[in-house]
Amino acid sequence: MTKLYAVTRGSKLNKVLPVIFTALILALAVLPKFLAIPYQVKLVQAFILIILATMWNLLAGFGGLVSIGQQAFIGIGAYALVYLADVQGLNPFLALALAAAISGIFAFPLSFLVFRLSGGYFAIGTWVIAEIIKLFVVQVKTLGGGSGISLAAFSGMGRETRIAAIYWSALAAIFLTLLSTILLMRSKLGLALTAIRDDQTAAGVLGVNVLRNRRAVFVLVSVGFGLAGGLIAMSNLRVQPDDIFSVNYSAIMIFMVVIGGLGTIEGPIFGAILYYFLQDRLKDYGTWYLIILGLLGIAIVSLAPEGLWGWISRNKFSLFATKYRVSQTSKEEGA
């Protein structure tokens, strides 16, 4: 008996969704024509949060690299943007792309430093690196020292045009990060990372070079963090060392990823959207805001340990075509 099998990626659902996503992106692209400025600003914030959550999840949820120092690369991206756009006089959009790349370039040598550490030491080590980079930046006069630096590149532009331009940059950034994430998870690197996520020892035994794959993901997500940092600088029109290198970014990223669902592509997106609404609604309540956030985190983690997405999908389906499916195509009776 000979059986023939076909190997495909994704489900029927995954065939429809790209159409919906494309429609969504197009709708979002024309929004500035119809949407009041404050809403555009809010969307930019939400896009940045989604990028951050997605990147932190690739690192921690798939790579197993629980870092609390990725604000290092957010900061590098933000400062690189201001430096390239204002000091070097580059087009700010080109500067944004370069800032992302520069952040990735910094990550490569730094990975050799932090990868000597593991587990909790790795987490603390990344934080220390972020603090050291901050202390270094504070010393640099061209970057404004301890009081920070303003972004002047948009000063010739009217408010409406500027906000729309930033909105489109953020939209392009989130589109590219999500698309790259999906392509990454469909690639060999994605297969390796998923295996590392589930069992690091078994992955190594099966020939997955755990260290090299982790380094690759560490550098790649740093590009994303740098991009987010650049966007933050653009939307705030100002970079301050204590804010941009703040460990709060790590706390927020952990919150979004854990409540959304660690180790899935969808989870962090949901987590980021939920977090966005929570902070938008609750930020005026002061301490209550933090208490409610904390209680909610605890509730979700104990009631649905796999996060909101795990609870919704019950591991039965995914929005993106990363899963493999084997189906039987023919069956010949015989010897």
Binding site for another protein (CB under 8 A): 3, 5, 7, 188, 191-192, 194-195, 197-199, 201-211, 263, 315, 323-326
Nearer to another protein, 90 or 203 (CB): 203
Nearer to another protein, 76 or 319 (CB): 319
Shortest distance in whole angstroms from residue 267 CB to another protein: 12
Shortest distance in whole angstroms from residue 227 CB to another protein: 29
Residue 257 CA: distances (Å) to CA of 46, 90, 97, 156: 14, 35, 25, 38
Q: What angle do CA 17, 18, 24 make, to 5 degrees?
A: 90
Q: How far apart are CA 172 and CA 176, in angstroms?
A: 6
Q: How far apart are CA 3 and CA 328, in angstroms?
A: 7
Nearer to another protein, 15 or 331 (CB): 331
Shortest distance in whole angstroms from residue 241 CB to another protein: 39
Q: How far apart are CA 218 and CA 195, in angstroms?
A: 16
Which amino acid is it at 26? Answer: L
**CB neighbour burial string for 277-314, b if at least 16 within 10 angstroms, e if fewer:** ebeeebeeeeeeeeeebeebeeebeeeeebbbbbeebe
Nearer to another protein, 93 or 204 (CB): 204
Shortest distance in whole angstroms from residue 214 CB to another protein: 12
List, as one string, the DSSP characters of 119-163. THHHHHHHHHHHHHHHHHHHH-GGGTGGG-EE--TTTTS-HHHHH
Shortest distance in whole angstroms from residue 326 CB to another protein: 4
Nearer to another protein, 203 or 252 (CB): 203
Pairing of strands 149-150, 324-332: unpaired
Residue 162 CA: distances (Å) to CA of 37, 126, 153, 158, 315: 10, 34, 10, 6, 42
Nearer to another protein, 30 or 205 (CB): 205
Q: How far apart are CA 61 and CA 285, in angstroms?
A: 31
Closest CA relative to residue 48, chosen from 160, 146, 170, 150: 170
Q: Give yes or no for a contact between 174 and 51, defined as CB atoms under 8 angstroms apart.
A: yes
Shortest distance in whole angstroms from residue 311 CB to another protein: 15
Nearer to another protein, 57 or 103 (CB): 57
Nearer to another protein, 45 or 194 (CB): 194
Q: How far apart are CA 41 and CA 163, in angstroms?
A: 7
